[in-house]
Amino acid sequence: MTAADSGSAMPEPITVPPFAVIPGAQVRRALQGREKQMVELVEATYRLHGAGDSVNPPSYFLRFPDRPSSRIIALPASIGGQVRVDGLKWISSFPGNVAAGVPRASAVLILNDHDTGYPFACLESSIISATRTAASAALAADWLSRGRERPARVGFFGVGLIARYIHTFLAGTGWSFDEIGVHDLSAGHAAGFRSYLEQSGTAGRITVHDRAEQLIRSSDLVVFATIAGQPHVTNLTWFTRDALVLHVSLRDLAPEILLASVNFVDDIDHCLKASTSPHLAEQLTGNRDFLSGTLDDVMAGRVTVPAGRPVVFSPFGLGVLDLAVGKYVYDEVARSGELQVIDGFFHELRRYG
């Protein structure tokens, strides 16, 4: 009996896509100066995720008994919509690198073909990861400050690579500040960030604060990008009444501060894990009532942002964002005709030889 006899259609012929490697220089070229576009892409991806057109299982944390401060995280994900790609980000955090002047985080992103499952690209992904993180922070700053006075004094608490990207994304999406505060445990890191700010051409007055309290008291928008493992900011009175807090490093704020604030996350189940401050707040209260919702809830108009209390955004960081930005990079590099394909990467392509 043929397929036609049985009434079923012949299967579509499928082809295995070529496998490409995209190094950091190409990634950077594809993303440079595209801050607005990346914020729009992240917004669209949050909306897709909110609508359920994604698969984003929990991140897996690989930890090492002999290197307790280091970790490698796997973020598998699948995204629908027009992006339609599956994949995995594999990102290491080795804080000891920083003393030697080497970035803490390094990463690759694997993109898998929707139809065959075959991996079709391996991309340098520390830039993609920093880009999606900063784009998400800029998006949150925009949406969570709508309808209130736009912050004019920003404070960066912990100033490594992520803080630099967040500043670039805020500036690249139209934010300007009268005052830019900087605080870091390391005077050298604070000085490095200051010189980055000066070179960026910002018009704001830059102040390095030795004390955390000074930074927070003099900021309407506070960006946390430290590598703290446990809360170290415990005093709610340091924050201005309507402070907007981008809690990107997730573990800086005592749970009591969250309980007295308005809280938004990117994804509730993801964020209430791994001893983040929202996770500690849930453990302290035994419930999730302190959460007002997700950023997607705000964007969709399901939740409004109340005034009169600090607003804290704690984004766990979703693999779907890496996929969306990574696929954008792949398409750009392919369009430019500069895709570096590894011929014959997959060798066993006939089942019986």
Ligand X SMILES: NC(=O)c1ccc[n+]([C@@H]2O[C@H](COP(=O)([O-])OP(=O)(O)OC[C@H]3O[C@@H](n4cnc5c(N)ncnc54)[C@H](O)[C@@H]3O)[C@@H](O)[C@H]2O)c1
Q: Which residue has the closest beta carbon to ligand X?
A: 160
Handedness of CA 194, 254, 217, 248 (dihedral sign): positive
Size of interface with ligand X, in residues (CB under 6 A): 28
Of the pair 113, 314, the CB lying nearest ligand X is at 314
Q: Rounding to the nearest 10 degrees, give the CA dihedral for residues 126, 127, 132, 133.
A: 60
**What distances in angstroms separate CA 126 from CA 41, 165, 276, one per listed residue?**
18, 11, 22
Q: Indicate the residue among 20 and 31 with the shorter CB distance to ligand X.
A: 31
Stretch that binds ligand X, among 1-9, 14-22, 151-159, 289-297 (CB under 6 A): 151-159
Give me 118's structure tokens. Answer: 């075959």
Residue 347 beta carbon to ligand X: minimum distance, rounded to whole angstroms: 36
CB of 71: closest distance to ligand X in angstroms? 9
Beta-carbon contacts of residue 100 (< 8 Å; ≥ 6 apart): none
- Cβ proximity to ligand X: between 72 and 334 the closer is 72
What residues between 59 and 118 interact with ligand X by CB under 6 A? 98, 104-105
228 binds ligand X, rule: CB under 6 A = yes
Among 70, 92, 106, 186, binds ligand X (CB under 6 A): 186
161 is a site residue for ligand X (CB under 6 A): yes
**Piece of the chain touching ligand X by CB under 6 A; list 60-68, 153-161, 253-261, 333-341:** 153-161
Pairing of strands 205-208, 179-183: parallel
By the rule CB under 6 A, 232 interacts with ligand X? yes
Q: Show the tokens assigned to 41.
A: 């892409």
In terms of CB distance, is 18 or 95 closer to ligand X? Answer: 95
Near ligand X by CB under 6 A, which window of 11-19, 42-50, 257-265, 309-317? 309-317
If DSSP codes are grouped into helix, strand and coil, which group holds residue 282? Answer: helix
226-262 in b/e burial notation, b at 16+ Cβ within 10 A?
Answer: bbbeebebeebebbbeebbbbbbbbbbbbbbbbeebb
- To which H or E segment does residue 161 belong? helix 161-172
* The pair of three-digit structure tokens given for residue 92, joined into one six-digit string: 């290491």
Q: Is 148 in the site for ligand X (CB under 6 A)?
A: no
Q: Which residues bind ligand X (CB under 6 A)?
A: 98, 104-105, 129, 133, 157-163, 183-186, 189, 225-228, 232, 248-250, 315-317
